[in-house]
Structure 1
Amino acid sequence: MNRLVCVVGPTATGKSDLGLDLAEALGGEVVNADAMQLYRGMDIGTAKLPVAGRRGIPHHQLDVLEVTEAASVAAYQRAARAVVEQLLATGRTPVLVGGSGLYVQAVVDELEFPGTDPAIRGRWEAELATVGAPALHQRLAEVDPAAAQHVLPSNGRRIVRALEVVELTGRPFRATLPGQRTPRYDAVLVGVDRDTAELDRRVERRVELMMAAGLVEETRVLLDRGLREGRTASRALGYQQVVAALDGSGELAAAAEETVRATRRFVRRQRSWFRRDPRIHWLDGADPELSVRARRLVA
């Protein structure tokens, strides 16, 4: 019987190619789980596979948002699960591929994402602007001490969201966060990682290739389409650094160097997230038998 297959791990380890190999071998289709690949036009900076490189395999949850729209894990969860369940129902194998940990878990596990109330959020945002993040963090500590321990006193956006959820649901914010993993599907999770020094080199090379391929020009086009106004898209690695250079010093070489540093930090956060999940079967992305080993795991 077909089942959900997930290919996860840090950036630049080789997930996309392995996802294609598995989809091809299993008669499956790829479901994107990279938050920034949801955006139209963000191609070079997200290492999005071009259509010609997809081997004729259908890809889902790519190019579904404009850069001015905010990405929502809850909306992604609904859309991605609908694709997964439709593929399973028709005998196709969904291959979920990506390095956005919460997006992967939102599909694989039973996670709840409370909605939002503009009036409640607006009220807390106004209070944040008036009293500042540390004072608002004290309010959070009063109503939800456990949440306050996990939200930095400087993270105003997260504090506002926590207070909104508490008021909206009447339950602690921590109750709605990823914790105990309750699987939704019979899934097999394949993790791809590499030696840290090698991965650092691959990240540097990837950024070099992105700059050579036209990341700056792509960013300029996206700025014309409203990239600065996009709450989520404007924070994407590479684009964020190029925009800062275009708006300031114009030092694009420095922007590339900062992108390398930021991506390496991001890789370590991804590794930390995924390594906490004991269900993931880890493989070495440098192994020439990677695809064969992954197929055996799935089988």
Structure 2
Amino acid sequence: MTGLVRPVAVVGPTATGKSDLALELAGRLDGEIVNIDAMQLYRGMDIGTAKLPPEQRRGIPHHQLDVLDVTETATVAAYQSAASTDIEAISSRGRTPVVVGGSMMYVQALLDQWEFPATDPVVRAKWELLLAERGTSAVHEALQRADSAAAATILPTDGRRMVRALEVVELTGRPFAASAPVIGEPRWGTRILGVDRDTAELDERIARRTAAMFEQGLVDEVRGLADQGLRAGQTARRAIGYAQVLAFLDGEYDLDEARERTFIGTRRYVRRQRSWFRRDPRVRWVDGADPAAAETALSLLADWAGRESTGPASSGPDPLTKERTRS
């Protein structure tokens, strides 16, 4: 990435304050935002994904938001290609790409340039038929037999990912994890910042956010998206909050149970995100509750640049040399 501006990634669990920090950094580093939350790719999925409304984006360009209909399938490979194009275009304009979100596999695919095993329609169709006819429990049992490690790391309710894992195992003869990239120098020399908070405080924030989503009209949002084909989508309909509200609309839960299941699902997902990102030694952490979180992040980036300047030549100009306050 010689001659181009290095990206900054802001990752971590849901509800920690990543969007606020990313906006502040983009403003200070003359940047543009690149979303890396899989469910924010969908048009109309706004309330349940806590998508920042346009009027709150401070005039900063945002990319990879609202690029899919709810009937379309979001894939890591398609995102990787599209987001890579965005990042390189932003950087070539002399601006700082600020990547923000918490979709774990999307982050690894983008920053570690994951090369995905080929797909085979016949093999995939076999496992999709099992999913359609016998449900996620049967697919999970098949995955446990084929690759117990993958079965332990993929949610047993995530039928699409389990099908993909079974397809990869059958095609390659190797465990699903063998296709994952080895963690090394991040692509483009990206500097990765993680945002987290105290667990008890984060649980309270999740509870407040869940309550606010339902108060702000999540049920009506889901009802409108259902009219646009949400139930037919392979990925959108499984999003936390949307799946629970669909179940409420279909009479499976009452509203209180839908709300409670959304909270529990979000909290469980946060624990998985934290475990995933904490394993990455490249991440430098910021406390989202700290009023000076942006200054801390900038200091970490400056320290990063300083350390690199005493070693091998960097692959591009440091984004901190362009810091300014957006008027």
**Do both share a fold (TM > 0.5)?**
yes
Q: How does 1:85-104 map to 2 (within 5 A)?
A: 85-104=88-107
| Shift, 1:117, TM fit | 2.2
Provide the rounded CA distance (Å) in 2 between the counterparts of 1:160 and 1:255: 27
One-letter amino acid of the counterpart of residue 301, structure 2: V
Contact 2:194/2:286, CA 8 A, preserved across alignment: yes
Change over 3 Å in CA distance of 1:269–1:170 after alignment to 2 = closer
Partner of 1:144: none
Contact 2:222/2:245, CA 8 A, preserved across alignment: yes
Among 165, 168, 186, the residue aligned to 1:162? 165
The unaligned stretches of length 5 or more in structure 1 are: 141-146
Change over 3 Å in CA distance of 1:250–1:16 after alignment to 2 = same
Q: Note if 1:149 corresponds to 2:152.
A: no
| Shift, 1:296, TM fit | 1.8
Q: How does 1:186-205 map to 2 (within 5 A)?
A: 186-205=189-208
Q: Note if 1:55 corresponds to 2:54.
A: no
Change over 3 Å in CA distance of 1:117–1:298 after alignment to 2 = same
| Shift, 1:164, TM fit | 2.2
Cα deviations by residue, 1:56-94 (Å, 9 ceiling, x for unpaired): 000000001111111100000000011111112221100
Q: How does 1:37-56 map to 2 (within 5 A)?
A: 37-56=40-59
Q: Note if 1:233 corresponds to 2:260.
A: no
| Shift, 1:210, TM fit | 0.8
Cα deviations by residue, 1:185-218 (Å, 9 ceiling, x for unpaired): 2111111111101000000111111111111110
Partner of 2:297: 294
% of aligned pairs identical? 60
| Shift, 1:295, TM fit | 1.6
Provide the rounded CA distance (Å) in 2 between the counterparts of 1:221 and 1:76: 25
Compute the TM-score of the two structures, normalised by the length of structure 1. Answer: 0.90
Provide the rounded CA distance (Å) in 2 between the counterparts of 1:135 and 1:19: 41
| Shift, 1:168, TM fit | 3.9
Cα deviations by residue, 1:13-57 (Å, 9 ceiling, x for unpaired): 110011000001000100000010000000000000000000000
Contact 1:284/1:290, CA 8 A, preserved across alignment: yes
Q: How does 1:1-299 map to 2 (within 5 A)?
A: 2-126=5-129, 129=133, 132-133=138-139, 136-137=142-143, 140=146, 147-152=147-152, 157-158=160-161, 160-169=163-172, 172-248=175-251, 251-299=254-302
Cα deviations by residue, 1:248-282 (Å, 9 ceiling, x for unpaired): 15621221121111111111111001000011111
Change over 3 Å in CA distance of 1:190–1:157 after alignment to 2 = closer
Contact 1:151/1:158, CA 8 A, preserved across alignment: no
Contact 1:241/1:255, CA 8 A, preserved across alignment: yes
Contact 1:23/1:57, CA 8 A, preserved across alignment: yes
Paired residue secondary structure (2:188): coil
| Shift, 1:110, TM fit | 2.5
Paired residue secondary structure (2:90): helix
Question: Number of residues paired by the alignment?
Answer: 293
Provide the rounded CA distance (Å) in 2 between the counterparts of 1:121 and 1:107: 24
Moved more, 255-264 or 173-182: 173-182
One-letter amino acid of the counterpart of residue 283, structure 2: I
One-letter amino acid of the counterpart of residue 123, structure 2: I
Provide the rounded CA distance (Å) in 2 between the counterparts of 1:134 and 1:101: 21
Provide the rounded CA distance (Å) in 2 between the counterparts of 1:223 and 1:80: 28
Compute the TM-score of the two structures, normalised by the length of structure 2. Answer: 0.83
One-letter amino acid of the counterpart of residue 99, structure 2: L
Contact 1:110/1:181, CA 8 A, preserved across alignment: no
Paired residue secondary structure (1:151): helix
Provide the rounded CA distance (Å) in 1 between the counterparts of 2:48 and 2:117: 31
Paired residue secondary structure (1:185): helix
Provide the rounded CA distance (Å) in 1 between the counterparts of 2:129 and 2:66: 33
